[in-house]
Amino acid sequence: MKSNPHPSGRVPGGQPVLAMSSLGRLGRFGNQVMQYFFLRICAEKSGARIQCPPWLGNRLFGFQDGPVTCRLPLAIERWEAGANMFDQLPELIPYLEKMTGATGTRIGVEALERGLSDVDLWGHFQYHTRHYRPHRNAFQALFQPAPALKADLDAALARLRANGRTLIAIHLRCGDFRRLPHFGFTLCVPARWWCDWLDGVWGQFERPILFLCSDDLKPLLPQFDKYRAMASRDLGLQWGESRPELVDYIDFYVLSQADVVGISNSSFSFVASMMNERGRLFVRPHWDFTTRFSAFNPWDSQPLLYPGGSSPRLYKTCREAMRAAYATGGCSEMARCIFIYAWGRAALKANRMAWAAQADGVKGVLKTVIRSSLRSQG
């Protein structure tokens, strides 16, 4: 983090500052939109000036916030229920305090009401959207693409809609979800589940068009041949060469404009649903594999679904990971998952040890070893 001649805080007598030096370091685009909106609401409530690193929102939405120029106390996210990343990984807060030279306090959803200033926000801030609902109009206005981008996207969308009447957009997140089976939110739903769902609803819609969004599209498209599925490559936008960093936003925009939306357990497509003002049906997978999917309201839902229900768990147990892998991919996927799960947990433990060592040396490492041993016994 950069510092100015007043490294311990803002210039005395100056405008209050609210920073988010972590923006871009805790998750991808969907996470960043939620983080930035939390930052924006809290800053407006307190009259603070926003400071954050450059991110994709600058180019997409025309934001021009200043960089982080001062060291501020850390304001670290607390969940309404359950243990989040900072609770599950107790070495992380001391590590951040040591690396930034700033002390940390915990904050929760109440900050949306009272605002914050002169702190540096750390967290994902993906609270139940009932807390964000009073700001729905502001959210949907704030994250509109810049006029030149919007013109290109709307022209492409018009070409897409010329093929039918009801636009159905489905997001299948596959790649990294399969590599992270130990995380609680990673639910990689197979294409056949979505095909079964489409078989049941396709006839209910007038001249439906199917649009697929995915981080691993090539093997998926043939499985949707009966629906003549289209994808971003069919829209005539030559962004791959001139605007490669914006290619994924094409999928996001179509999801935000579709009439029927099917999402993954992913902040990317959930946030796109929050932007959608014309959708009449939103569907998502859940952890009950007998029913597979359920309808949801983007403005009255938890953005990500975790095992544990009302007491969500950030990480799956080995049994939960195996069960999910078997339900979605059969025996071969379960066997594959065993090795990846073990590797992921080992890597997580190594990170915890490294954070502890940097924060408190040998003493910190010993604390982590004892804590892990007690947890495994309990």
For the chain, list the domains and their CATH numbers. Answer: 17-133 (no CATH), 145-295 (3.40.50.11350)
For 280-313, b where at least 16 C-beta lie within 10 A, e where not — what string?
ebbbbbebeeeebbeebebeebebbbbbbeeebe
Model confidence pLDDT, tens digit, residues 10-25: 555 678 999 999 999 9
Question: Is residue 210 a contact partner of residue 228, using CB atoms and an 8 Å limit?
Answer: yes
Confidence (pLDDT) at 4: 37
Confidence class for position 2, pLDDT limits 50, 70, 90: very low
Confidence (pLDDT) at 32: 98
Model confidence pLDDT, tens digit, residues 31-84: 999 999 999 999 999 999 999 999 999 999 999 999 999 899 999 999 988 889
232: nearest Cα among 208, 249, 207, 209: 249
Model confidence pLDDT, tens digit, residues 76-129: 999 988 889 999 999 999 999 999 999 999 999 999 999 999 999 999 999 999
Confidence (pLDDT) at 361: 94
